[in-house]
Amino acid sequence: MSQYSDNKFDTQQYDDARPTYPKGFYDVILSKVNYRELAVDLGCGTGIVTYAIAPYFTKTIGTDPSETMIRQCKRKSVDNVEFLQGTGEQFPAEIAPDSVDLITAGECAHWFNHEAFFKECHRMLKPGGTLAFWLYKDPVFEDPRANAIYHKYTWESSFDHNTGADFEQYMGPYYQQPGHDYLGSLLKEKPVPAELYTDIERVEYLLDDRQRPTRLQSTPLRIKKNVSVQWFLEYVKSWSAYHSWMKDHGDKYDVAEAFTKELMSAMGWTLDTPITLDFETMYTTAHKKP
C-alpha cells in the first residue's frame, strides 16, 4: 500500500492501534511447520508477526515494500531477526529459493497479485515447507446501528447519500481495489492452487446478522477486543484509506474524528466509553508440493 510508504506515515501509531493475534493461533501455525531454520514474514509492517515467531526459528526475516515500515522495525534489534524490502510477489535476493520453512502473511494477502504470490512462495519454500496467511475484516459492534454507520464510512460514497457536499466525505472510495473487496470476502475468490500445494486448510470465523458466531466450532484466530471509543478512533487513523482521504481533504476536517463523532452522537458514547469489537477472520495453511 503506497500510503504506508509515505515518509510522513506514523508507524508507531499504526503499531499501537492494530489488533494483535492470540498466542494459541501462533501455536496452531507452528504445529504445521516441519523444520524451524528459516521463517519469512511477508508484509511485516511494524514487525508484529515477525517478532512473535522469531523465538521459534534459527532466523526470521520480515519483508515489506515500505521503506518507512522497515525503518520502524529496525529500531528494535533482535539477534536472529532481519528486515528487508520485498513484496509477496518477489522476495529479496538475499533469500535463496527452496530455503524457507515457514512463510507468513498476516493482514496483507488481499493486496497481492495472487497468481504471482502463490508461485513465488512455492519457489522459496523447502519441499514440505508451510505457507500460512490470514486476514481479519471489519470489526463488528454489538449494536447494528453502529455497524450501519461503520459500513457507510468504509464501504460507501457520500455522493450516493446526497449530503450536499462537493467532495467525498466517506473513506470507501479511497481504498485500493480489488484488495478492499478481497478483504471483505476474506479472499474466497483466490484459493490456494492445488497443483502447487497440499494439505490445504481454510478456517473461517464468521458472524450472523445478530452479531453471533455462525458456527459452534471455535477458531484459534479469534480477535475480540474490549476497547474504548478513543482506541477505535486511533484504529481508524491507522487505515490506508484514512491517510488517502486526509491527503485530499485534510484541510477541511479530520474524517476519522467526524466518523467517530457520528458514532458517539448516535450511540450516546464518549471517547471513554468501553465498547466490544468482534472481528471476522480467516486463516489458510498449506504445504509446498515437492
> Which pLDDT does position 111 carry in this prediction?
96
Structure confidence by residue, pLDDT tens digits, 1-19: 544 445 554 545 555 667 8
Nearest Cα residue to 30 out of 5, 52, 1: 52
Number of helices and strands in the chain (H, E)? 10, 8
Grid coordinates given for 166: 462537493
> Which pLDDT does position 18 carry in this prediction?
72
Return the SS3 of 30: helix
| DSSP structure string for 51-86 | HHHGGGSSEEEEEES-HHHHHHHTTS--TTEEEEE-
Q: Residue 137 region, left (φ>0) first, then alpha (ψ -120 to 50), else beta?
A: beta
In the numeric block, the cell 490506508 is attached to: 240
Give bridge partners of residue 277 from the DSSP assignment.
225
Nearest Cα residue to 141 out of 15, 264, 17: 264
Nearest Cα residue to 23 out of 56, 45, 1: 56
Return d(Cα 203, Cα 245) in angstroms, integer. 33
The secondary structure element, H or E, covering residue 142 is none
pTM: 0.91
| DSSP structure string for 208-263 | -TTS-BS-SS--S--EEEEEEHHHHHHHHTTSHHHHHHHHHHTTT--HHHHHHHHH
Which is it for strands 81-85 and 59-64: parallel, antiparallel or unpaired? parallel
Domains of the chain: 3-140+176-225+278-288 (3.40.50.150)
> Which pLDDT does position 113 carry in this prediction?
98
Tens digits of pLDDT across the chain (290 residues): 544 445 554 545 555 667 889 999 999 999 999 999 999 999 999 999 999 999 999 999 999 999 999 998 998 889 999 999 999 999 999 999 999 999 999 999 999 999 999 999 999 999 999 999 999 999 999 999 999 999 999 999 999 998 999 999 999 999 999 999 999 999 999 999 999 999 999 999 999 877 778 765 679 999 999 999 999 999 999 999 999 999 999 999 999 999 999 999 999 999 999 999 999 999 999 999 98
Return the SS3 of 284: strand
